[in-house]
Amino acid sequence: MAEGVGERIKVGIVGGTGYTGVELLRLLSQHRRVQLHAITSRKEDGLPVAEMFPNLRGRVDLCFQTPEHAALDQCDVVFFATPHGVAMEQAEHLLAHNVRIIDLAADFRLQDTAVFERWYKLPHACPEILRDSAYGLVELNRDAIRQARVIGNPGCYPTTVLLGLAPVLGGTQALVDIDHIIADCKSGVSGAGRKAQTGSLFSEASDNFRAYGVAGHRHHPEISEQLQRLAGAPVGLTFVPHLVPMIRGMFSTIYLRILPEAMETDFQALYERRYADEPFVDVMPAGSLPETRSVRASNMLRMAIHRPDDGDQLIVLVAQDNLVKGASGQAIQNMNLMFGLPETMGLEQLAILP
């Protein structure tokens, strides 16, 4: 174990050829308590990581290895930056070797395995391990994460919607109509991953805007399960994701109806209080307009609360970098918690603007 002063956490990455993979590498290689031990890719076996991702040249010497050669069971923690269904196959073996697991895919996000199977078309391989895992949205679940051996790292959309809604749900007083919540969400193209597919081509996605997944998106049940946990009751959510011609960035516009009995609530103060001690959630002053570039390449999530004409409509604007707070940064935030490190370690880089 690696909690000792100066000792380093041995980290393995499974499937690091995508964007969450290179982002993990960028952040972990600058984390002073991490030792990158191995990274696997069956297809790219032997290729230096820095040849695929030239930003790492001179700083990351690892080569991709097959899982067989990677000795992942000698790591302290393994990140899965893989397609859905990979982590759950390897979890038992790794846990048996006392290796902790942070899965950036969906295997440990949904406690309801029937829902998992419906959306991911796979039976769950290890329901018991799932039951002991923690949903890795730190701001909602810090204590469980500290104790967990397996983390289901949240989806990017769920991170924005859940953090945008948490302050108004689950308090002692009902504040908003939880049967009709609308989340109009917008993502940069890197959210679709590095897979070669027509819809993600520059000439298809650039200078264009469109909705997708209106009839159903896998993040919908994930958000719903967590909202129900927060609210203590089922929540009616309309969720429409859209594709924005930018690389990184995610923006959610959330529409809530304030209940008649809650019209006197000071929502700005409510949000500020809720996140006052959070290092990675910035509730901006009243009237602010967050923008995705203000968090580009950083682990910060910024939000602002609007209530036009002091009416019954509450609007929450949330911006994050989908690859950092929405994926790899959040995974490292989880790792820091699991290993007793300061939660912000390795995650303090300022956003890149312009």
Round to whole Å and give the CA distance between 293 and 249.
Answer: 7
User: With binding defined as CB under 8 A, does residue 260 bind a second copy?
Assistant: no
Phi/psi of residue 68, nearest 5 degrees? -60, -35
Q: Find the catalytic residue in 75, 126, 156, 185.
A: 156
Site for a second copy in 305-334 (CB under 8 A): 306, 308, 313, 315, 317, 319, 323
Q: 4 or 308: whose CB is closer to a second copy? A: 308
Among 45, 73, 89, 282, which residue sits at the site for a second copy (rule: CB under 8 A)? 282
Site for a second copy in 33-72 (CB under 8 A): 53-59
Among 45, 89, 291, 343, which residue sits at the site for a second copy (rule: CB under 8 A)? 291
Q: 55 or 74: whose CB is closer to a second copy? A: 55
Contact 50, 56 (CB under 8 A): yes
User: With binding defined as CB under 8 A, does residue 200 bind a second copy?
Assistant: yes
Distance of CA 348 to the CA centre of its chain: 17
Site for a second copy in 105-134 (CB under 8 A): none
Q: How many CB atoms lie within 10 A of CB 301?
A: 28
**If DSSP codes are grouped into helix, strand and coil, which group holds residue 91?**
helix
Among 93, 128, 211, 233, which residue sits at the site for a second copy (rule: CB under 8 A)? 211
Catalytic residue status for 126:
no
Site for a second copy in 6-25 (CB under 8 A): 19, 22
Phi/psi of residue 230, nearest 5 degrees? -70, -45
Site for a second copy in 231-250 (CB under 8 A): 238, 240, 242, 244-249
Q: 50 or 71: whose CB is closer to a second copy? A: 50
The DSSP-derived string for 97-133 is: TT-EEEESSSTTT-S-HHHHHHHHSS--S-HHHHHH-
Q: How, if at all, do strands 181-188 and 237-244 pair?
A: parallel
